[in-house]
């Protein structure tokens, strides 16, 4: 992260065409300052937040108070509790996941910035905020669909060092693995597909900072099947267990970093609310938790503790970014970092147009 003074101070630097990464740095400083006018933008500059085109002084421009890595002693005191930052950059596009604070609400800001001739042409943002925690109770509302693992800023640590480790994997292989992963996990492809994906030994998946594979003490999904604990399973077994079959792929785009064996998936997964159960291999029928006509008793303490909610059959869409780290030797999945939020059914937080 380039200091603000270095970005703005020297006349010689001002004469150079800034790189897309430098423009992304400037955007982050401007976002905290709440003033886009310090940015070099094209005449057709477009700012999109949560899938909606906004004026570049609306939305998060009024609420973001800190981003990991954005520090200037005179202007922006460092936020000591923020530490997650991941970046993928090409000559004209920067994709970043940056831990954030909006007042006292923590989360991860995912954004994609497109540069043109040294100016910013477009920024797409997806703020993934705490929904049930924080001093202001996050952004919880009656219109917010529940997810099993909502954002909890206290669980977000630094980006895993393996994401930045060199290890070449072809773009074609990365894209193929990502497509097959989602197709198999959501039940849209047969079990044979799983054999074509491959998982590295010790593969781990994290959802909004929470480990969701290989968890020793994991909750039971269906009381009638007390031995089925999906979060206790490894990556391969969990994907083949049927646990995610209540979702369908709504939209998916992938970009690749061949040098580091990393794939970034922009995804919308749709949960229609019509899949009530699934067949888990070796277990039998497992019923998804959720109200089925009876009056549900609500324990709000669980919401604000960011614990697993007991409703997986409501119609909703999941919008987010998934990072896949592949091992270079065999191309198997070694780690998955998923950051996402819930939205009304079939609502997209990203522009999936090519």
Which pLDDT belongs to residue 146?
Answer: 66
The alpha-carbon radius of gyration of the chain (Å, integer) is 21
Residue closest to 320 by CA, chosen among 209, 217, 214, 171: 209
CATH number of the domain that 27 lies in? Answer: 3.10.450.50
Q: Of 129, 146, 171, which residue is a domain's last? A: 129
Does 277 map to a domain? yes
Verify that 254 and 108 share a domain, yes or no. no
What residue has token string 């993934």? 128
Residue 223 backbone dihedrals phi, psi, to 5 degrees: -55, -25
Domain count for the chain, please give it. Answer: 2
HSE-up of 122 (CA within 13 Å, CB side)? 12
Which residues, including other chains, have CB under 8 Å from residue 346's CB and lie 6 or more apart?
250, 268, 270, 317
Does 249 map to a domain? yes
Verify that 111 and 205 share a domain, yes or no. no
Residue 160 in tokens:
């895993």
Does 166 map to a domain? yes
Q: Could you report the per-residue pLDDT of 116-172, keeping only the tens digit for each?
A: 999 999 999 999 998 765 454 555 554 555 678 888 888 999 999 999 999 999 999
Verify that 19 and 95 share a domain, yes or no. yes
Residue 170 backbone dihedrals phi, psi, to 5 degrees: -65, 145
Which pLDDT belongs to residue 291?
Answer: 76
Residue 14 in tokens:
């001002």
Verify that 95 and 223 share a domain, yes or no. no
Question: Is 0.75 topped by the overall pTM?
Answer: yes
SS3 151: strand
Give me the residues paired with residue 108 across strands.
99, 128
More confident residue, 310 or 270: 270
Residues in the chain: 354
Does 136 map to a domain? no
Give me the residues paired with residue 88 across strands.
95
Verify that 72 and 167 share a domain, yes or no. no
Instruction: Note down the domain range covering 237.
Output: 161-343
Residue closest to 60 by CA, chosen among 26, 19, 111: 111
Verify that 257 and 194 share a domain, yes or no. yes
Span 46-58, average pLDDT: 94
Verify that 167 and 120 share a domain, yes or no. no
Verify that 175 and 121 share a domain, yes or no. no
Verify that 195 and 289 share a domain, yes or no. yes
Verify that 166 and 114 share a domain, yes or no. no
Q: Where are the alpha helices (DSSP H) in 34-95?
A: none
Burial class of residue 193 (count of CB atoms within 10 Å of its CB; 0-12, 13-18, 19+)? middle
pLDDT higher than 70, residue 75: no
pLDDT higher than 70, residue 62: yes
Is residue 219 within 8 Å of residue 231, measured between CB atoms? yes
């Amino acid at each position: 992260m380039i200091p603000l003074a270095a970005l703005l101070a020297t006349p010689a630097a001002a004469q150079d065409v800034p790189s897309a990464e430098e423009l992304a740095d400037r955007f982050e400083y401007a976002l905290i300052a709440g003033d886009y006018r310090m940015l070099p933008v094209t005449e057709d500059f477009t700012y999109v937040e949560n899938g909606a085109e906004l004026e570049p002084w609306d939305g998060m421009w009024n609420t973001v108070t800190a981003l990991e890595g954005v520090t200037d002693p005179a202007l922006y005191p460092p936020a000591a509790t923020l530490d997650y930052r991941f970046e993928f950059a090409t000559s004209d596009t920067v994709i970043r996941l940056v831990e954030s604070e909006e007042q006292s609400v923590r989360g991860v800001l995912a954004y994609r910035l497109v540069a043109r001739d040294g100016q910013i042409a477009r920024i797409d943002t997806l703020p993934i905020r705490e929904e049930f925690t924080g001093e202001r109770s996050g952004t919880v509302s009656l219109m917010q669909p529940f997810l099993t693992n909502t954002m909890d800023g206290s669980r977000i640590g630094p980006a895993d060092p393996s994401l930045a480790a060199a290890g070449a994997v072809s773009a074609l292989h990365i894209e193929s693995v990502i497509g097959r992963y989602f197709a198999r996990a959501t039940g849209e492809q047969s079990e044979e597909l799983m054999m074509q994906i491959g998982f590295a030994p010790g593969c781990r998946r994290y959802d909004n900072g929470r480990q969701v594979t290989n968890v020793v003490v994991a909750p039971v999904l269906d009381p009638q099947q007390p031995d089925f604990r999906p979060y206790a399973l490894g990556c391969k077994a969990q994907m083949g267990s049927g646990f995610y079959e209540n979702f369908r792929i709504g939209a998916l785009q992938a970009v690749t970093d061949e040098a580091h064996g990393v794939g970034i998936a922009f995804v919308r997964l749709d949960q229609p609310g019509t899949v009530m159960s699934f067949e888990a291999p070796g277990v039998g029928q497992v019923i998804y938790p959720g109200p089925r006509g009876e009056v549900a008793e609500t324990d709000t303490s669980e919401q604000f503790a960011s614990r697993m909610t007991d409703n997986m059959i409501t119609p909703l869409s999941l919008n987010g970014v998934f990072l896949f780290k592949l091992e270079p030797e065999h191309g198997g999945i070694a780690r998955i970092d998923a950051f996402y939020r819930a939205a009304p059914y079939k609502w997209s937080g990203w522009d999936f147009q090519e």
